[in-house]
Structure formats: C-alpha cells, structure tokens
Amino acid sequence: MIIDMSYWTRVFKRIVYVILILIGLYLAFKLSIFYLPFLIAFIISLIMEPAIKFLMKKIKITRRLSAIILFIIVSLIILGALSWGIVTLISEASNLLDDLNFYVEKIYSVFQNFSNNFDFDKLHLPAEVKEIFNNSTGSVIETITNWIRNFLNSLMGIVTSIPNIAIYFAITVMALYFMCVDKIYILDQIEHHLPKIWVMKLGRHMRELIKTLGNYLKAEATLVLVSFIISVIGLYILSFAGFKIEFPLLIALGIGFVDALPILGSGTVMVPWAVICALNGELNLGIAIIVLFIIMSIVRQFLEPRLVSKNIGVHPIFTLLAMYTGFKIIGILGLLIGPIVLIIFKNIFASLIEQGVMKTIFDKN
C-alpha cells in the first residue's frame, strides 16, 4: 500500500491552520477581557467615527477638533448615565434584596392557587403528575430566586468596587480620547511595525469582520437601547400613575438583557409578568404591561429591517446552539457572547464553510 505523503501533508497543514486560528481566537478573547477598557473605548470610537466625519464635513473643522468636541459630549453622557445608574441600581437592589422573600412567597402562592383551582381531571392526568407539577414549580422558583439573590448581591458589591470602576472609567475615557483624536497616527504605527503582507491580510479580514460583526452589534445595541429606554420610560410612567412597580430600572435592565438575546426577546419577561399580575388580581397592571410590550414590539419591528443586516446568514438553530454552548461554558453571559463568536467564526472560516469544511480539508483536489 502506497501512502500519498503530499496529500497527508496538505491535510495536516490545513488542520494545523484551523487549530492555530481557533487558538488565536481563544487568546484574542482572553486578551479582550484583560484589556476590556481599551476594547470598550475601541467600540465607542467606531460608533463615534461617522459623527466625527460628519462634523468635519459640515462645520469644516479639523479631525482633532471634531473628535475633541464629540469626546467631551460622549464622556459627559457616559459619566452622567453611569452615576445615575449606579445610585439607582444600588438603591433598588438593596430594597429588592430586603423584600425578596416576600415576593417569592407571593409568586409561589399565585402558582399554588392556580394549581389548586385548575381542574386537572379535565386533562385526565394522574395525581402523581399533579404532585410533580407542584414540586417542580417550587424547585424552579427556588432556583430563579437564588439567581436573583446572587445577582443582587453582586450589584450591591458595586459599592466596594467604586474605586476600581473609577480607574476603569478613567482608562476607558483616556483610551477613547487617543483613539478618536490620534486614529491616523495609531494606524500608521501599526502599519509601520507589521510586515506588509500581514497588514494587507489583517486589513482585509478586519474590514470584513467590522462590516459584518460591527453592523450586527451596532444594530442590536441600538435595538436593545431603544427597548431599554421605552421600558424605563414606560415603567416610570406606570409607577407615577399609581401602579405598583417598585424597581423600574432593575426590571428595565432585565428586559433589555433578555431583548439582547437572539430568538428570545422581551416577550419572555413581559408576557409571563403580565399573566402573573392578572392571576394575582392586578388585571389593570397586566394589561398595561401588555400594552407596553406591544409598543416595544411595534417600534422594534419598524426599526429592525432598517438596522439589522439580513445577509448575516446564520440560521436560528445554529444561533440557538451557540447560545446554549456559551451558556454551558461561561454561564448567563455566554447567551450573549455565543452568537457573537458564531458570527466571528463564520466570517473567518467563510471559505471553508462555503466549500464544505471536511471536504476542504480532506478533498484531494
């Protein structure tokens, strides 16, 4: 039997190439966490870039002056939002933590009343199934309660982390200033110190990645921000109107987080919340929540076709798989990071995926 060494050498090189890219992506992820302030500054600078160019064109000023003007505006907005958010979150988290057991017992009693009043005989279910339903309800509520308690405790830990937050904020702001004002100089330095072929390949891949991933992230961030703003304003209006909503900012953050998850959306929070309110005798509040959800859905449906690119080409089943994988590896945050990593993989391995991964690696042609 004659072994074709040239064929297996080519296969080995392709496998090593894929492995090296995966290792590089893993290291890039670790470095992005380590240098998070610079990553945040880089993302904000990308968002600010069109506005900088707009000012340069309309007002006829230099890039440096345009960047400084926008930098001051954005920094003040971030500082104000961060200060208000920390104070409000700490206040609401502290109050909710104190009253958490009361709310848990209230929710559990609602489900118990529903279970006792529901006629299981119509479904011809045995008593064992009803008992399993009751036991599992308590277990699910207990698990969710532990998640909420851990989350609130971590929020309360913000108080002790304020010095670190101040340092991170200062570094992020300074990095943002240099990235906006001295962008041309930074790009020239990178090009000067890297081999020319690296610059060409890196520039091509970065342009494609920023176009695909950047547009996706900006669109999703805009949609989530709009949903968050609508939910905050709506919940505060309902609170001022006399409805019993004690933690509008925390609830709006939860709605915004779930709305950021592909496939799921804000309905997974607001619809069950409205149903629980209705079962608890607060029908008007349940209807108000549904109305707010409908408003958010209409606005999202209006904006989404104009913001989200339809050419990402990721089927929902693969998005769901990426979310589950991210959740199993790094927890709740993985639900957000999983689809992003999937898009990065799709962009980098576009040629392999288009031709067939295994076919590309092992095909003799």
Asked whether residue 80 carries a pLDDT value surpassing 70, the answer given is yes
What's the CA gap between 219 and 18, in Å, rounded?
30
Residue 121, Cβ density class (10 Å: 0-12 exposed, 13-18 middle, ≥19 buried)? exposed
Asked whether residue 341 carries a pLDDT value surpassing 70, the answer given is yes
Share of the chain above pLDDT 70, in %: 70
Element (H, E) at 87: helix 63-117
Task: Convert the pLDDT of each residue in 7-39 to its tens digit.
Answer: 677 777 777 877 887 787 788 778 888 888 888
Asked whether residue 220 carries a pLDDT value surpassing 60, the answer given is yes
Q: What pLDDT score was predicted for residue 313?
A: 56
Asked whether residue 184 carries a pLDDT value surpassing 70, the answer given is yes
Q: What pLDDT score was predicted for residue 162?
A: 73
Range picked from 184-198, 199-213, 250-264 for highest mean pLDDT: 250-264
What's the longest Cα–Cα distance across the chain?
85
Residue 338, Cβ density class (10 Å: 0-12 exposed, 13-18 middle, ≥19 buried)? buried
Pull the structure tokens for residue 59: 């007002």
Residue reference for tokens 């007002």: 59
For the entire predicted model, the pTM comes to: 0.61
CB atoms within 10 A of CB 342: 20
Asked whether residue 336 carries a pLDDT value surpassing 80, the answer given is no
Is residue 64 within 8 Å of residue 179, measured between CB atoms?
Answer: no
Q: Positive or negative, the Cα torsion across 94, 100, 102, 106? A: positive
What's the CA gap between 107 and 84, in Å, rounded?
30
Is residue 275 within 8 Å of residue 260, measured between CB atoms?
Answer: no
Q: What pLDDT score was predicted for residue 311?
A: 46
Give the pLDDT band (50/70/90) at residue 67: confident
The half-sphere exposure of 130 on its side-chain side, counting CA atoms within 13 A, is: 15
> Position 163: which residue type?
P
The half-sphere exposure of 209 on its side-chain side, counting CA atoms within 13 A, is: 14
Q: What angle do CA 306, 312, 313 make, to 5 degrees?
A: 125
